[in-house]
Structure 1
Amino acid sequence: MSYSLNRRQVLIGLPLTLSACTASQVWAPDDVVARAIYRDPGPKHLTLYTMKNVGSDNGAHSALLINASQRVIFDPAGAWEQRQMPERNDVLFGASPQLEQYYVSFHARVTYYVVGQTVAVTDDVAERALTLALQAGPAPQANCSRFTSRLLRQLPGFGAIRQTWFPNKLSDDFGTLPGASYREYREDDADDKNVAARQIAAALEAGN
């Protein structure tokens, strides 16, 4: 399934953008994290996001949405920064569906698209994934897929996932998991993540 849209559509609430692999030590304060926590009472699941070059289909980044006792995005060596999603060493807190859409929109643009693959998991597996993400620590540059695949390999039922440095290989393995769904998110915005970040921040400040 493929979605084609622009950032204007995203900013008024439709589904959705791409982070290069960068890294730093970040530790949001306890009170900031506590205020941001988002809990989803629905079924637990994991969504692997893979950012791909439009021209070559080469993978550029991997990240993992974890819907457990709280909803977070494990974004190793990622570039996403928004006040509404405080970070602790590559774990982004407060990943509501709206902020998840903005995260995807930040990565999708004229030169890159985003693939989202989702699998349902048990409560225990989701919680294990969350624990591993919180323990992973900040990833060095270009280690996004290595850290994500290492996390997934430690989960029950994820034996098909091989340790890899390459986003496409991780995506291919994830796609072999039973019940894995597949979506593409495409936008035609200019190739400038800074513009996207400013637009998203303005929309969030305006309450959109």
Structure 2
Amino acid sequence: MRPTDPSTAGAPAAQAAVRPPLPVKLVVAGGFGVGKTTAVGSISEIEPLTTEAAITEVAAGVDDLSHTPSKTTTTVAMDFGCLTIDPTLKLYLFGTPGQERFGFMWDDIVEGAVGGLVIVDTRRLDDCYAAVDYFEHKQIPFAVAVNAFDGKVEHDLDEVRWALDVADGVPLLVFDARERGSVRDALLVVLEQALHRAEN
């Protein structure tokens, strides 16, 4: 019997241990100024890639700044960040631009995504209708996350669900886009939705 080469002993286990994590693409969507860039920046383990541009006087006349008067920049293409959940799973996060005039980019950004997180500002719910409609039309699993600006929301979750007309099976939660743990929990809800869809 040929002796085992100690240098190769346990090779399958070693190879499994260094196997790269499974890449999973998630999209962070919503209206203008709801906290998409903030959420990606809060959770990303790398310096997030952003395509922020200064809000010009012309853009200010188009985009509603009444609830975000201190906002001086806006996403004109996408935000990108990533997060390793565990050694087997890594999330790649793509944030969409919020303005309707950049809607032509959505199909390219969303392609290959297993799910989406739609961020909502309850002071202007109508800004997120387009994102909700998009994920419903594309039949992509998603969750709705109400961003607690100044630590509060203007409407309770039942009212938000009714206003958005989202199905009972769509998770609806309150989160803080500035808090890493809060963003992580919201993304995990989206992952659970995607897993549930894949199993059915």
Which one has the bigger helix percentage?
Answer: 2
Q: Which has the higher contact order (CA 8 A, sep 6+)?
A: 1
Normalised to the residue count of structure 1, the TM-score between the two structures is 0.28
Q: Could you state the TM-score of these two structures normalised by the residue count of structure 2? A: 0.28
